[in-house]
Homo-oligomer: A and B are copies of this chain.
Amino acid sequence: MSLPIPGEQVRGSKTGKPIMALLDLLGRTWALGIVWQLSQGSATFRQLQQRCEQISPSLLNTRLKELKVLQLVESTPNGYQLTLTGQGLFSVISPLGEWSLQWASQIKKDDV
């Protein structure tokens, strides 16, 4: 899959609007999950594999490459970590954690 570079065409949009590039990126399997997991501290390749329970090494590596090119993740001698930009992204999406709890309890209520 080609990289969703803001300013260029991306999967599902020809406008090049940054938000479309971002939605394309975050809409890829495990992309959000990797950012989420790395927000809890840097990790080596195999550590990250464990945090992302079911991810295959090939996909993990593919995603990491994408996230590196897009400057959300960087690799250091100590493993992978979020860049400053990546941390910025996380701070934007982190409210999802709390929101998901409300959402979950609401869906349960409606089951009854």
Contacts and interface: CB of A to CB of B under 8 A. Distances in A.
A77 interface: no
Interface in A83-104: 85, 88-89, 92-93, 95-97, 99-104
B93 A96 contact: yes
Q: Per DSSP, are chain A's interface residues mostly helix, strand or loop, or mixed?
A: helix
Nearest to A89: B99
Contacts of A53: 12-14
16 contacts: A6-B103, A6-B107, A7-B104, A11-B29, A12-B55, A19-B96, A21-B104, A22-B100, A23-B36, A26-B32, A27-B32, A70-B107, A71-B107, A88-B102, A92-B99, A93-B96
Given A12-B55, A22-B100, A85-B106, 19 more contacts: A5-B107, A6-B103, A7-B104, A7-B107, A12-B53, A19-B36, A19-B97, A22-B103, A23-B36, A23-B96, A26-B32, A27-B28, A27-B31, A27-B32, A70-B107, A71-B107, A71-B110, A85-B103, A89-B103
